[in-house]
Amino acid sequence: MENMAPPRYVYNAPAGTVRRKPGEWVERFAPLVPADGPVLDLACGEGRHTMFFLDRGHPVLAVDQVTEGVEDLASRPGAEILRADLENGNPWPLEGRRFAGIVVTNYLHRPLFPHILAALEEGGVLLYQTLALGHTRKGRPSNPEFLLAPGELLDIVGGELSVVAFEQGRVGENKQAVTQRICAIRKPPGQAMDDIPLHPDPDFGAP
Ligand SMILES: C[S@@+](CC[C@H](N)C(=O)[O-])C[C@H]1O[C@@H](n2cnc3c(N)ncnc32)[C@H](O)[C@@H]1O
């Protein structure tokens, strides 16, 4: 069809599969991640957010227990790929590393939260989104171990990070997925929330 814009952020992954587009929460708040700062894509899967942040000029460390899906990104400047099982009781594999942005989507292993928060440098931005309780009614997973409790992400970052945005509820096609998502920032000392621009476009979201 003429004049049809090509889809944004649909990439060819190895074996002819197609990378899904980045989550809209990640896309929306990515501009808050300090420019050129290193990003961690934890439990990166096929690396849709790894590629998204590489495209935005960030160095990205992509971590997953299965890294075949991101092999095609390994040669990209700034890309680093780490295969690691994050749940086998081994020490946190990123000890001492700090990131300007940490993105975790569709993954939950609660013992990692202290490490995730500690890995966020001053001014750094946490973008976290995963399924929440209530999703049990809609499909898998049904085990509450893998589902956030109401307000849980707020409780986790509370006291340590400043919340820029938080949502919980049904999203997606036919509102099938019950999700919870947060954008929170480790403010440098002295910075007020009203110093934080929510979007680089000055007209975006204006009242
Ligand atoms: C549903 S996928 C989400 C992928 C990606 N974050 C996204 O939203 O597109 C969950 C990912 O968690 C990874 N994962 C599950 N258990 C893991 C573990 N013990 N250690 C490391 N990664 C794990 C899986 O390999 C998978 O890639």
Share of the chain above pLDDT 90, in %: 67
**Burial zone of 9 (CB within 10 Å; 0-12 exposed, 13-18 middle, 19+ buried):** middle
Q: Is 114 inside any structural domain?
A: yes
Q: Is 40 inside any structural domain?
A: yes
Instruction: Count H helices and E strands in the chain, helices first.
Output: 4, 9
Q: Is 122 inside any structural domain?
A: yes
Q: Specify the higher pLDDT residue, 193 or 72.
A: 72
Give the HSE-up count for residue 46: Cα atoms under 13 Å, Cβ half-sphere. 15
pLDDT, averaged across the chain: 87
Across residues 8-13, what is the average pLDDT?
Answer: 43
Q: Is 6 inside any structural domain?
A: no
Distance from residue 206's CA to the centre of ligand 1 (Å): 36
Across residues 19-43, what is the average pLDDT?
Answer: 94
Across residues 178-198, what is the average pLDDT?
Answer: 87
Of 161, 98, 93, the C-alpha closest to 126 is: 161
Q: Is 121 inside any structural domain?
A: yes
Cα separation, 123 vs 120, in Å, equals 8
Q: Is 111 inside any structural domain?
A: yes
Which structural domain, as residue segments, surrounds residue 171?
24-75+93-188
Query: pLDDT at position 17, please?
Result: 57
Which residue do the tokens 């399924």 mark? Answer: 131
The CATH number of the domain holding residue 159 is 3.40.50.150
Cβ of 19 closer than 6 Å to ligand 1, yes or no, is no
Q: Is 107 inside any structural domain?
A: yes
Across residues 70-98, what is the average pLDDT?
Answer: 96
Across residues 167-174, what is the average pLDDT?
Answer: 84
Residue nearest to atom 4 of ligand 1 (CA): 45
Q: Of 77-81, 179-183, 191-195, which gets the smallest average pLDDT?
A: 191-195
Q: Is 201 inside any structural domain?
A: no
Query: pLDDT at position 207, please?
Result: 78
Q: How many domains does the chain have?
A: 1
Cβ of 66 closer than 6 Å to ligand 1, yes or no, is yes
- On the question of pLDDT at 140 being above 80, the answer is no
Cβ of 129 closer than 6 Å to ligand 1, yes or no, is no
Cα separation, 124 vs 153, in Å, equals 17
Angle at the Cα of 77 (from 73 to 79), degrees rounded to 5? 50
- Kindly indicate the confidence band of residue 110, based on its pLDDT and cuts at 50, 70 and 90: very high
Residue nearest to atom 12 of ligand 1 (CA): 43
Q: Specify the higher pLDDT residue, 14 or 164.
A: 164
Query: pLDDT at position 118, please?
Result: 98
Q: How many residues does the chain have?
A: 207
Cβ of 106 closer than 6 Å to ligand 1, yes or no, is yes
